[in-house]
């Protein structure tokens, strides 16, 4: 540990208790998030989760300056079709890595421990980085320019600087991470306190900067997992989209929270309490905005209207058979379509109904585990822009 270095240099760890603005935002987020999952059947929510994971990785990587087109992500994810361009191919692998780790979180296949525990952070970093292509696991030493390898799940072993901020020395990282874990341990915090502290934990992990690279992705994945663990997050929405769409403010508020306290009225810690509160407010406001955005997109009546308009155009252009919308509507509202009912739903004979199903599976609108299992709604990239406008900047 460097001379004079102390874990108190990252205090305060939490916003003040009974901070009314933060508590109001916490209650608002909890209320709106609880209603989101009830809008659609479980099978459809699973398909939406796949879509949101792809969106989340797109926006999270975009914050890092890695712009991987949604269609390139889809080609790699759905068709294992990777670009011949080495840079694009590497970014496709990076996107798939993010999606696979978030899927583990969403399916509760991640370690069932506190999400701010250092072991959990190591797990996130390891799972993400070990899926990365080798060429993305090297970073330049800020002093010498020498390349250093990012070892999955391992703390950095050297000095780093992030903008004007100099994070703790490598030897001090275990102590800072121990304090980090203690401060945000959910057993010590009420549910409201856990929610109001989400932004603080997000910032303080970035402040510690425990890894040579991947800290931003780990922080956002940790925040996603923490949102789920405290009962307001789900696979149906992503904070990363909101952060990316407000990236300048996001980065500016992060940097402001790095600064020393501004005087006797700015808390008692080494860092600015007011700046920490402002970042926490921003973070919760972004969360609420994204829940509201997805609630609007997933409203069944509006979603069906957009689907109907799109499918009519596809049928008119000869790209989909007549009767397609009736099956897709049933899949959306009921969660699945029993194969024996496809003729009844479309009004066609068995052979023609089977042809409609076959075409919808081929085009990626429906899927099934086998030829006898029910049909489940899926979301092909060609339909995403029409069914879910503004999910991406453009598809």
**140 band by pLDDT with thresholds 50, 70 and 90:** confident
More confident residue, 38 or 128: 128
pLDDT confidence of residue 2: 57
CB atoms within 10 A of CB 51: 18
- Under a CB-based contact definition with an 8 Å cutoff, are residues 286 and 278 in contact? no
- Asked whether the predicted pLDDT for residue 145 surpasses 80, the reply is no
- Under a CB-based contact definition with an 8 Å cutoff, are residues 341 and 303 in contact? no
Task: State the first-to-last Cα distance of the chain, in angstroms, to the nearest integer.
Answer: 48
- Rounded CA separation 23/33 (Å): 15
Cβ neighbours for 195, distance < 8 A, ≥ 6 positions apart: 26, 29, 30, 230, 232, 284
- Rounded CA separation 204/62 (Å): 21
Closest CA to 212 of 276, 140, 272, 287: 140
In eight-state DSSP terms, residue 189 is: S
Q: In the numeric block, which tokens belong to residue 330?
A: 């049933």
Side-chain half-sphere of 162: how many Cα atoms within 13 Å?
22
Closest CA to 315 of 363, 348, 267: 363
pTM: 0.94
Q: In the numeric block, which tokens belong to residue 199?
A: 């932004």
Which domains does the chain show, CATH number per domain? 15-297 (1.10.3290.10), 300-387 (1.10.10.10)
What mean pLDDT, rounded, does the chain reach? 93
In eight-state DSSP terms, residue 183 is: H
- Rounded CA separation 352/335 (Å): 23
pLDDT confidence of residue 143: 67
- Under a CB-based contact definition with an 8 Å cutoff, are residues 333 and 300 in contact? yes
**394 band by pLDDT with thresholds 50, 70 and 90:** low
For residue 12, say if its preceding peptide bond is cis, omega within 30 degrees of 0: yes
CB atoms within 10 A of CB 104: 16
- Hey, which bits of the chain come out as E strands? 138-140, 147-149, 366-367, 376-377
Angle 30-33-37 from CA coordinates, rounded to 5°: 140
Helix axes 70-79, 42-63, angle to 10 degrees: 130
Which tens digits make up the pLDDT trace of 305-349? 999 999 999 999 999 999 999 999 999 999 999 999 999 999 999
**263 band by pLDDT with thresholds 50, 70 and 90:** confident
């Amino acid at each position: 540990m460097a001379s004079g270095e102390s874990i108190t240099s990252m205090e305060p760890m939490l916003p003040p208790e009974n901070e009314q603005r933060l508590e109001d935002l916490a209650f608002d987020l909890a209320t709106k998030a609880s209603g989101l999952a009830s809008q659609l059947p479980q099978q459809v929510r699973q398909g939406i989760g796949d879509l949101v994971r792809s969106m989340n990785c797109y926006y999270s990587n975009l914050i890092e300056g890695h712009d991987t087109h949604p269609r390139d992500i889809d080609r790699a994810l759905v068709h294992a079709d990777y670009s011949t361009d080495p840079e694009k191919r590497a970014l496709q692998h990076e996107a798939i890595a993010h999606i696979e780790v978030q899927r583990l979180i969403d399916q509760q296949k991640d370690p069932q421990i506190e999400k701010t525990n250092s072991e959990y952070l190591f797990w996130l970093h390891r799972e993400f980085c070990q899926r990365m292509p080798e060429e993305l696991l090297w970073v330049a030493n800020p002093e010498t320019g020498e390349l250093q390898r990012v070892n999955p799940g391992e703390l950095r072993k050297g000095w780093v600087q992030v903008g004007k901020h100099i994070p703790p020395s490598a030897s001090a990282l275990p102590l800072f991470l121990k304090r980090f874990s203690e401060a945000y341990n959910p057993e010590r915090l009420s549910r409201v306190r856990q929610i109001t502290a989400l932004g603080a934990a997000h910032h303080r992990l970035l402040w510690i900067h425990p890894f040579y690279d991947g800290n931003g992705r780990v922080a956002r994945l940790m925040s996603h997992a923490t949102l789920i663990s405290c009962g307001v997050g789900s696979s149906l929405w992503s904070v990363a989209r909101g952060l990316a769409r407000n990236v300048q403010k996001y980065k500016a508020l992060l940097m402001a929270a790095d600064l020393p306290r501004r005087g006797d009225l700015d808390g008692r810690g080494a860092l600015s309490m007011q700046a920490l509160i402002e970042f926490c407010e921003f973070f919760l406001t972004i969360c609420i905005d994204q829940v509201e955005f997805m609630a609007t997109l997933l409203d069944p009546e509006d979603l069906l209207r957009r689907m109907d308009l799109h499918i009519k155009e596809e049928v008119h252009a000869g790209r989909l058979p007549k009767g397609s919308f009736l099956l897709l509507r049933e899949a959306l509202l009921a969660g699945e379509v029993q194969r024996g009912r496809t003729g009844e739903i479309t009004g066609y004979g068995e052979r023609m109904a089977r042809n409609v199903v076959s075409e919808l599976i081929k085009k990626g609108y429906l899927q099934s585990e086998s030829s006898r299992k029910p049909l489940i709604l899926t979301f092909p990239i060609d339909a995403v822009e029409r069914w879910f406008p503004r999910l991406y900047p453009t598809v």
